[in-house]
Each structure stands twice: as structure tokens, then as C-alpha cells.
Amino acid sequence: ILAGTVTQIDEAVESHGKFHIAVSGGSLPKFMKGLSKRQDIDWTKWWVYFCDERYVSSGDPDSNYGALKQVLLDDV
């Protein structure tokens, strides 16, 4: 994730008590790869939404949910 983004996440949590992210798929899950290793993120405050999910099973290579699950959700 880009520098400064964790600061923005922290600000959202401090201001609103949670952080909302809408995942549209494409390359976004790739950008989030490795994010689960961050010790400075409170994952209990994250609300994840899928705004452009394809009508395929989660194991399908075209599944946005499956892609994010593999690089982030399984670890957090």
C-alpha cells in the first residue's frame, strides 16, 4: 500500500471508529498483497465491501473476492 495510506486509515478509525474500503477488483487485490504483515493496522476496525463482484465461484480466477481472500483476508 502506498506511503501515507496507513496514516489515513488510522485517521478514519480515530474519527469514525472504523475504516471502510470498497474493493472493485482488477489490480487492487495485488496492491494489498503483503498488507496483512503490517503490525500497525487494527483489522477489527476494517469493513470490506465488494462493489464490482463477478457472478463466479470464489475459487474462479475472475473472482474479486477470491483474489482478495488469497492475498489478505485469509491472513487477517
- The per-residue pLDDT for range 4-60, each reduced to its tens digit, is 677 888 899 999 999 998 888 778 888 888 888 888 889 999 999 988 777 888 888
Query: Please, which pLDDT band fits residue 73 given cuts at 50, 70 and 90?
Result: very high
The predicted pLDDT at position 2 comes to: 52
Backbone angles phi, psi at 21, to 5 degrees: -135, 130
Nearest to 25 by CA among 45, 56, 46, 54: 54
The C-alpha atoms of residue 13 and residue 16 are separated, in whole angstroms, by 5
> 65 and 72 in contact (C-beta within 8 Å)?
no
Task: State the pTM of this model.
Answer: 0.76
pLDDT value of position 57: 86
Q: Where are the alpha helices (DSSP H) in 1-76?
A: 5-16, 28-31, 64-68
Task: Give the residue, 56 or 3, on which the prediction is more confident.
Answer: 56
